[in-house]
A and B are shown apart, each in its own frame.
Chain A
Amino acid sequence: MKHVVDELDAFERGTLPEPASRRVDEHLRECAGCREEARLVRAGQQALAALGMPPLPRDAWEAVRTRRPRRRPAAARWLAAAVVVAAIGSAIVATRRPADPVVVATGRLSLGAFGHVDIEQGSIVRVEAPMHLRLERGAVHAVVTAPPRLFVVDTPRARAIDLGCSYEVRVDENGDGTLTVDAGAVALERAMREVVVPAGFACAIDARGAGVPVSQRAPDALRVLVAQAARGGATHPELAAGLAAARPADALTLAHLLPRVAASQRPAVRAAIQSLGRWPADLDPADVDALDAAALSKLVGSLTNR
């Protein structure tokens, strides 16, 4: 029996044409669920009659004619954020000067229906715009249900772009930091280069932007390999130990390592990814060894399910 819920608005208004109207009518005689839904639709339609046409504000035309801005000034907007923080957590709100608001807070910043951000004690957070924070120092933990790419956290080194998830961004006194993703995924972006960090991974953020995403359960030997590559080069024993310890879940880490190891070491890293069974069927290994941008993008995309 096909229910008729989606047709009830037109049916109750009497605008549903035949034969659909007869079909809905017959269905409602047999289906108590749809009959109850029809009663609610009718009640909702009738309730709206109480909403009259509100008077237009007297200055409405003048505001349009002169294009006089009526939006609240930016300072008022960030202040609203600060007030929310103050209301929910034990916050200290400090202002350098009116045009340069800084919130030094501990507590929870509400994103309304889009989630919330917990601010670690001693952190310095600027509210650049309602869905745009700048973390100068300290840490924030965000739980966001907004559409992807709506909520961003800038750090001195890179921008963390929410892709629908739960994550922590931490920044030290030098501006370096770490992104740790609990659920979903976050894109770290700097200078048009974007690294997607999926759930269960952490990624260093330094002067070059996003580092290499590393699984939170990655073996120590692989962590050493990543750290040495970031410092300018891993030795062959470090490379061999890291690759030998890698698990299938570490293939994404190895893919991001490819541009960071010496050209002579690259085939070994690529072969390790292949041996972990995570190699896309139609990807030419030679393209990856040559650091072809499209090939690398395809490899990384397949490993992050994007």
Chain B
Amino acid sequence: MRLAVAEGSQDEAALIASARDGGEAARQELFERCAPRVHAVALHFFGGDASAASDVVQEVFVKAFDRLAGFRGEAQLATWLHRVTVNACLDERRSRRKLVALDAAEGERMAHDDAAERSQREALVRRAVARLPPKLRIAVLLRHFEDLSYDEMARALGCSMGTVASRLSRGHAQLARELAALQGGAP
């Protein structure tokens, strides 16, 4: 989560301090900076399921604001938000996937979401991403939307940097294979 400061706004430490003291405007500003990326990761993690993505966003930020007292600086909050996002996605997946096979649900959603797709290509990539194993999927999405270093990803995913390297390499290669399969051709 890059807490890049918009020109003319408070710096991160002051923003977090204000949010910690209960300042609603500060909280909203933190939310508006960080939530789009959390939402993007969650939405694509769930193959376009808006309900699941909203649940994840809400869980992440309700928890974050509840625990702001424990944060001392920007880096810590960003690291923590990444970690909570990963866990919220994996937990939400557990609670949803038990009863509905992903492929079936994915097909259903894609049928309903066609009008909202920005392009056929994006729809195809989204479907291919949704087919990745969860640990590869979350790694690929965090890398794409958050642009984290291997070290930051290792902390978010709770694994070693070597594992991050492996998941990203395998995740991207698998994504290409899934895309090819969806298009009915060789990868």
Distance to closest chain A CB from B42 (angstroms): 10
Q: Is the CB of B94 within 8 A of A51?
A: no
Say yes or no: is B75 at the interface (Cβ < 8 Å to chain A). no
Nearest residue, chain B, Cβ from A53:
B40
Chain B contact surface mostly: helix
Nearest residue, chain B, Cβ from A6:
B166
A residues near B62, Cβ cutoff 8 Å: 64, 67
Choose from B28, B169, B179 the contact partner of A41 (Cβ within 8 Å).
B169
Mark A61-79 against chain B: 1 for CB-CB distance below 8 A, else 0. Answer: 1011101001110000100
Choose from A9, A52, A53, A130 the contact partner of B168 (Cβ within 8 Å).
A9
Chain A contact surface mostly: helix
- A71–B62 Cα distance when bound, in Å, is 14
Say yes or no: is A290 at the interface (Cβ < 8 Å to chain B). no
Known: A56-B39, A110-B100. A48 touches B144 (CB 8 A): yes
B residues near A12, Cβ cutoff 8 Å: 172
Nearest residue, chain A, Cβ from B178:
A44
Q: How many residues of A contact B (CB 8 A)?
A: 48
Say yes or no: is A241 at the interface (Cβ < 8 Å to chain B). no
Of A111-119, A189-197, A212-220, the stretch lying at the interface with chain B is A111-119
Distance to closest chain B CB from A41 (angstroms): 5
B residues near A60, Cβ cutoff 8 Å: 31, 35, 39, 54, 57-58
Q: Is the CB of A61 within 8 A of B32?
A: yes
Q: Is the CB of B43 within 8 A of A110?
A: no
Say yes or no: is A104 at the interface (Cβ < 8 Å to chain B). no
Choose from B55, B102, B121, B176 the contact partner of A43 (Cβ within 8 Å).
B176
- A272–B120 Cα distance when bound, in Å, is 71
Q: Is the CB of B102 within 8 A of A9?
A: no
Q: Is the CB of A40 within 8 A of B187?
A: yes
Say yes or no: is B26 at the interface (Cβ < 8 Å to chain A). no
Say yes or no: is A37 at the interface (Cβ < 8 Å to chain B). yes
Q: Is the CB of B39 within 8 A of A54?
A: yes
Say yes or no: is A32 at the interface (Cβ < 8 Å to chain B). no
Say yes or no: is A94 at the interface (Cβ < 8 Å to chain B). no
Choose from B27, B98, B126, B174 the contact partner of A112 (Cβ within 8 Å).
B98
Say yes or no: is A5 at the interface (Cβ < 8 Å to chain B). yes
A residues near B43, Cβ cutoff 8 Å: 54
Mark B35-66 against chain A: 1 for CB-CB distance below 8 A, else 0. Answer: 11101100110000011001101100110010
Distance to closest chain B CB from A75 (angstroms): 14
A residues near B119, Cβ cutoff 8 Å: 50
B residues near A10, Cβ cutoff 8 Å: 150, 165, 168
Choose from A47, A65, A70, A84 the contact partner of B24 (Cβ within 8 Å).
A65
Q: Is the CB of B35 within 8 A of A6?
A: no
B residues near A110, Cβ cutoff 8 Å: 99-101
Q: Is the CB of A130 within 8 A of B128?
A: no
Known: A61-B28, A63-B58. A51 touches B176 (CB 8 A): no
For window 157-187 of B, CB contacts with A under 8 Å fall at 162, 165-166, 168-177, 179, 187
Nearest residue, chain A, Cβ from B164:
A9
Q: Is the CB of B55 within 8 A of A9?
A: no
Nearest residue, chain B, Cβ from A78:
B99
Known: A9-B172, A40-B177. A57 touches B50 (CB 8 A): yes
B residues near A41, Cβ cutoff 8 Å: 169, 172-173, 176
Known: A54-B39, A114-B98. A40 touches B172 (CB 8 A): yes
- A10–B170 Cα distance when bound, in Å, is 12
Subset of 8 A-B contacts with CB under 8 Å: A44-B140, A48-B144, A54-B39, A56-B36, A64-B62, A65-B28, A112-B101, A130-B99
4 closest A-B pairs by CB: A44-B172, A44-B175, A112-B97, A130-B98
Contacts A45-B172, A56-B57 aside, 10 further interface pairs with beta carbons under 8 A come to A5-B169, A7-B169, A48-B129, A51-B126, A53-B36, A57-B54, A65-B28, A80-B100, A112-B101, A150-B94
